[in-house]
Structure 1
Amino acid sequence: MSQNTFKNKLKEGSSPKGRSGKTIFSWMEEKLDVKKILGEGVPVQLVPPVGFVALLALIYIYSNLRAENKIREIEKAKQAVADIRADVTTLEADYMKSSMQSEVSKRVAAFELYELNQPPVKLEIPKK
């Protein structure tokens, strides 16, 4: 039985899936010229401290964004409380005005009930 072999369908100088041979990493390496900065490779002993600093930076950014969102929520809540407080004050003033004797007499005039102009009379029933 013969052995399985793979055919090389790529032409020389081309890359898989029709790409031009450059990846984003090779482009970054070309543009940033990492070899001038770091030499031939990245020093392995620098990876943990740099990773830790990057993690701290991400935590700092996350906490700042979260704090700003909370501040916006608090400001919205303060505005809502101020609006409700104004509504309550208006309703209380309307209620106090509507419960005045002159306002009540105006409303019951439609039912032909009028305010007395003389003091009430006390009726006394003699005991037997």
Structure 2
Amino acid sequence: MKENTYKPIKKRTLFGQLEKRLCLNGISLDTPYYLSRLFYLFFLGLLYIWNAHYHEKMLHKIHQLQPVVDGLRVKHMRLQSTYMFDSKQSEVAKKVALLAIYESKVPPYIIKAGK
């Protein structure tokens, strides 16, 4: 007859996995090596949180300024279209006719130099 033996059940916990992966077996909290890693992870966490807050704030500003940008874009397009319309030759001729300046009906002379 076999004897009953007690076999402990090995549970894989989160901290056990971290200890195994970071090679922290046998290292106490007093070791500067462990504390330097802990401070490094703390610094990375703070940097991550700051970055998330910064980008949320920037997105908020962008959403606030979007209507202003849209209004300025409409104004720019309107001014550009009026400028293009007013700079046509026929429109310029109409505006300068009030000053008694008219288009020349005679084509320009071509001057050719002889050899």
Larger Rg: 1
Structure with the greater relative contact order (CA < 8 A, sep ≥ 6): 1 or 2?
Answer: 2
Compute the TM-score of the two structures, normalised by the length of structure 2. 0.43
TM-score (norm 1): 0.39
